[in-house]
Amino acid sequence: DGGITQSPKYLFRKEGQNVTLSCEQNLNHDAMYWYRQDPGQGLRLIYYSQIVNDFQKGDIAEGYSVSREKKESFPLTVTSAQKNPTAFYLCASSPRQGADEQYFGPGTRLTVT
Amino acid sequence: QQQVKQSPQSLIVQKGGISIINCAYENTAFDYFPWYQQFPGKGPALLIAIRPDVSEKKEGRFTISFNKSAKQFSLHIMDSQPGDSATYFCAAINAGGTSYGKLTFGQGTILTVHP
């Protein structure tokens, strides 16, 4: 079964703790993306990666970090510096950078209290 | 100039009716306009998409109308069904550009179809 998996589906953390969200794809896509979704808002780009060992900041990168050590994996760390971390986080991939179609994972809902 | 403005924020339609969601953009470099459908707690899924060289694209009950001169595009859902109840996002991207083409999303429309 090809696709994008994100784990866990729900994640709870205390304020001040770093937390890492997992994203794996077996579509052999070069590009991967992280978005944040808040109620009543569209998707906002956090980070993206066009190839292994390379990644770029999106529109709202502050308080987040990523790595791309393997083609199929693009984990996102939400650090304690992120002021409003509670949100729905979506990972996506596309065959190449700038490709028109992006495929989304099922998302991780992070709640920080 | 990168914004995509979507309206309405929410829409209630009776079963069998037509749902219409509108989007407007500024960046004339956009060359691909997808619509995504998202059910609660799930990731968005590509529903239908259009390129600016055509004015309309139809797939089943879903139709995109595209007005290049007005820089507007819309999604029409014919014979709306309760199963169509979801959040719909329009988006735009400059997929043919040499620099990174960012997918820019509208704010989303929550569609509710009453039985």
Determine how β-strand A31-37 pairs with β-strand A87-94. antiparallel
Picking from B94, B103, B108, the nearest residue to A102 by CB comes out as B103
The answer for A 60-89 residues in CB contact with B (under 8 A) is: none
Picking from A40, A98, A100, the nearest residue to B107 by CB comes out as A40
The answer for B 37-76 residues in CB contact with A (under 8 A) is: 41-46, 49
Min Cα–Cα distance to chain B from A106, Å: 4
Is A35 in a helix, a strand, or coil?
strand
A58 near B CB under 8 A: yes
Is A104 in a helix, a strand, or coil?
strand
pLDDT digits (tens, 9 = 90+) for A4-43: 999 999 999 999 999 999 999 999 999 999 999 998 778 9
DSSP assignment of A25-39 equals E-S--SEEEEEEE-T
Task: Give me A83's structure tokens.
Answer: 């002021």
Q: Are A93 and A27 in contact (CB under 8 A)?
A: yes
Using CA atoms, how far apart are residues B105 and A5, in angstroms rounded to an integer?
A: 22
Reported as a pLDDT band with limits 50, 70 and 90, residue A2 is low
pLDDT digits (tens, 9 = 90+) for B11-45: 999 999 999 999 999 988 888 999 999 999 899 99
pLDDT digits (tens, 9 = 90+) for A51-82: 999 999 998 999 999 999 999 999 999 998 88
